[in-house]
């Protein structure tokens, strides 16, 4: 708004008119960002406070990763499991090749001596881990290679111990300096694919790692989750990534500025955001010591105010980690009532990391999405107590991670039939998934609203009937082709009714009877006709 006012004044002055300076725009009372292209750009890795015992470098001391100029491989799984993922410092990402033998190659800006190297196991089946491999060096662009180290029989799976995201270090003795390095994998541990989360080359350490702002930058979203669609944000196609590492043992903290705003807090406003801490194989859960912070016009901050979120925990990064309230590798919804701050103006939205403990080299990372300041939702209870029941509760799960493994059944108590929306109408297992099966635009899609008798995904179903409306004169029964996208805020999921407004304008509702039910379909362009 300020920029627009200034531009208008300049145009008038250029025409010979004299005008008064433009006044500052009044603060807004609501705000939202999903870090999409159309949203205000977030500051990139910009410290609001001096970092304490942290750096934005996600690598070990002496790592040669900053010197890498190119990463190539025999093969890769685009777009999310490419060769460059093995050099991004993030143990939650990986390189994958559809082969039982492969190679991964780094080119450096200068010839460097490698004294050791690290391999980190990726998230999926242990049979994909490298078993037999050599590290090779070249100074002629890969025309000839010198073998520097050979390993055989390597395994990450050892009994019931954690084996995903685990790093192994291999020493290299008496090596010379090379400008190109290759990990040549001649065998894996039995699967028909090869995967690797990280290959890190270590040279001679050149001193202490300098403190630096932690990483906060917009990216494509998480790459691994048992419940969420990957490669996107919680909503939209992008999210904001955070990450860093501890320089030494002990407490570590950092606060980065994200957005400059002017938001007048009104009674009944709330701060909401979604946060996705990456586990990364660290069972101390450092990535959960994270939170969005607000800076008010009087210099105070949300994190030091003692305000609590709707779960009853202090709305601060340290509290989140100590309370073990955030689920790793999944999206978590945070809601903070801002009514106590009514009348103040929010001037900055920030991200905070605050871990009271941790070892040197501790790595943390995760994602933020959908930061809003908006009125608190009020449930319309005109239909009585049934208005407070949401049958979708527990559906943000999968066969890999349970929150009850429920589906949004609309039925009489002990009814003969269950009516339910189906994001997968071709299974007798998980019929409805909240997020993981979203379409390319990251909107959920229904393949049917049908009848089920499923008591549990482990028990399965005996038969189903799936119904879905369609526009046009040539509807299809092919499930993938007939999917209709929608938004969860346009659903009503209660014991007495399920209804949804699809993005194409069709609305559908179903209500149960003892042995049957009644559907209603309303089509766009036909008001009053169903």
Q: Average pLDDT in the 250-270 region?
A: 98
pLDDT surpassing 70 at residue 258: yes
Q: Name the domain count of the chain.
A: 3
The answer to whether residues 92 and 136 belong to one domain is yes
Query: What CATH number does residue 323 fall under?
Result: 2.60.120.260
Q: Are residues 193 and 289 in the same domain?
A: no
pLDDT in tens, 20-43: 334 456 789 999 999 999 999 999
Dmax (CA) for the chain in angstroms is: 83
Per-residue pLDDT of 116-125, as tens digits, reads: 999 999 988 9
pLDDT of 157 higher than 90 = no
Whether residue 23 lies inside any domain: the answer is no
- Look at residue 529 and tell me if it is in a domain: no
Contact, 178 vs 112, CB < 8 A?
yes
Query: Which DSSP symbol is given to 85?
Result: G
Residue 109 within a domain: yes
- Model confidence over 37-61: pLDDT tens digits? 999 999 999 999 999 999 998 777 7
* CA distances in angstroms from 220 to 42, 53, 197, 402, listed in the order given: 14, 28, 18, 26
* DSSP sequence for 241-297: EEEEEESSSS-EEEEEEEEEEEEE--TTEEEEEEEEE--TT-TT-GGGSEEEEEEET
pTM for the complete prediction?
0.79
| Burial call 20-37: b when 16+ CB within 10 Å, e when fewer | eeeeeeeeeeebebbbee
More confident residue, 209 or 16: 209
In this structure, the answer to whether residues 246 and 353 fall within a common structural domain is yes
Confirm whether 162 is domain-assigned.
yes
Is 15 within a domain? Answer: no
Task: Give the CATH number, domain containing residue 505.
Answer: 2.70.98.10
| pLDDT tens-digit series, residues 394-421 | 999 887 888 877 889 999 988 888 999 9
163 and 48 within one domain: no
In a domain, 472, yes or no: yes
- Say if residue 355 is in the same domain as residue 391: no
Q: Is the pLDDT confidence value at 208 over 90?
A: no
Q: Are residues 408 and 493 in the same domain?
A: yes
Identify whether residues 389 and 486 lie together within a single domain: yes
- Give yes or no for a contact between 274 and 331, defined as CB atoms under 8 angstroms apart: yes
For residues 16 and 459, the model is more confident at 459
| pLDDT at 206 (0 to 100) | 55
**Confidence bin at 223 (pLDDT 50/70/90):** confident
Most confident of 10-14, 80-84, 359-363, 450-454: 80-84
Per residue in 107-143, pLDDT (tens digit) is: 999 999 999 999 999 988 999 999 999 999 999 999 9
Same-domain pairing of 309 and 355: yes
Evaluate whether residue 7 is within a structural domain: no
The domain in which residue 357 lies consists of 31-57+211-375
Instruction: Report the chain's terminal Cα–Cα distance, integer Å.
Output: 44
The DSSP string of 105-127 is EEEEEEEEE--EEEEE--SS-GG
Q: Are residues 242 and 329 in the same domain?
A: yes
Residue 40 lies in a domain: yes
Angle ∠(370,374,379) on CA atoms, nearest 5: 105
* pLDDT, averaged across the chain: 89
């Amino acid at each position: 708004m300020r920029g627009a006012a200034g531009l208008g004044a300049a145009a008038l002055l250029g025409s010979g008119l004299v005008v008064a300076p433009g006044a500052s725009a009044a603060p807004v009372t609501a705000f939202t960002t999903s870090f999409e292209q159309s949203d205000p750009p977030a500051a990139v890795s910009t410290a609001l406070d001096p970092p304490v015992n942290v750096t934005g470098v996600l690598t070990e001391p002496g790592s040669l990763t900053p010197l890498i100029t190119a990463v190539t491989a025999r093969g890769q799984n685009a777009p999310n499991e490419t060769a460059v993922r093995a050099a991004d410092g993030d143990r939650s990402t990986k390189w994958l090749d559809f082969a039982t033998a492969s190679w991964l190659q780094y080119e450096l800006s200068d010839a460097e001596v490698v004294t050791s190297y690290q391999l980190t196991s990726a998230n999926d089946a242990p049979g994909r881990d490298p078993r037999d491999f050599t590290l090779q060096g070249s100074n002629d662009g890969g025309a000839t290679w010198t073998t520097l180290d050979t390993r055989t029989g390597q395994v990450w799976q050892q009994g019931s111990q954690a084996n995903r995201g685990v790093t192994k270090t291999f020493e290299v003795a008496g090596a010379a300096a090379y400008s190109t390095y290759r990990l040549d994998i001649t065998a894996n541990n039995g699967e028909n694919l090869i995967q690797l989360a990280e290959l890190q080359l270590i040279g001679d350490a050149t001193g202490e790692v300098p403190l630096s702002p932690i990483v906060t930058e917009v990216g494509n979203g998480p790459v691994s989750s048992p419940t969420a669609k990957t490669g996107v944000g919680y909503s939209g196609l992008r999210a904001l990534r955070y990450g860093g590492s501890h320089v030494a043992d002990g407490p570590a903290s950092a606060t980065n500025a994200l957005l400059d705003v002017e938001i007048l807090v009104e009674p009944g406003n709330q701060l909401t955001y979604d946060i996705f801490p990456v586990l990364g194989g660290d069972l101390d859960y450092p990535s959960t010591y994270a939170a969005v912070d607000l800076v008010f016009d009087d210099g105070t901050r949300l994190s030091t105010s003692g305000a609590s979120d709707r779960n009853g925990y202090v709305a601060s990064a340290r509290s989140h980690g100590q309370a073990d309230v955030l689920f790793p590798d999944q999206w978590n919804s945070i809601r903070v009532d801002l009514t106590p701050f009514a009348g103040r103006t929010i001037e900055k939205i920030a991200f905070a990391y605050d871990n009271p403990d941790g070892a040197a080299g501790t790595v943390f990372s995760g994602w933020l999405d959908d930061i809003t300041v908006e009125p608190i939702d009020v449930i319309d209870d005109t239909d009585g107590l049934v208005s407070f029941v949401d049958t979708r509760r527990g559906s943000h799960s999968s066969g890999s991670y349970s929150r009850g493994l429920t589906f949004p059944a609309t039925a009489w108590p002990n009814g003969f039939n269950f009516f339910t929306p189906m994001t997968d109408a071709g299974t007798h297992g998980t019929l409805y998934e909240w997020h993981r099966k979203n379409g390319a635009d990251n909107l959920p899609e229904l393949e049917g609203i049908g009848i089920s008798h499923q008591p549990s995904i482990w028990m399965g179903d005996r038969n189903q009937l799936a119904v879905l409306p369609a526009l046009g004169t040539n509807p299809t029964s092919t499930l993938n082709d007939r999917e209709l996208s929608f938004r969860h805020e346009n659903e009503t999921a209660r014991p007495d009714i399920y209804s949804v407004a699809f993005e194409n304008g069709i609305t559908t509702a179903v209500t149960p009877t003892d042995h049957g039910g009644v559907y209603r379909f309303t089509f766009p362009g036909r008001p009053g006709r169903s």
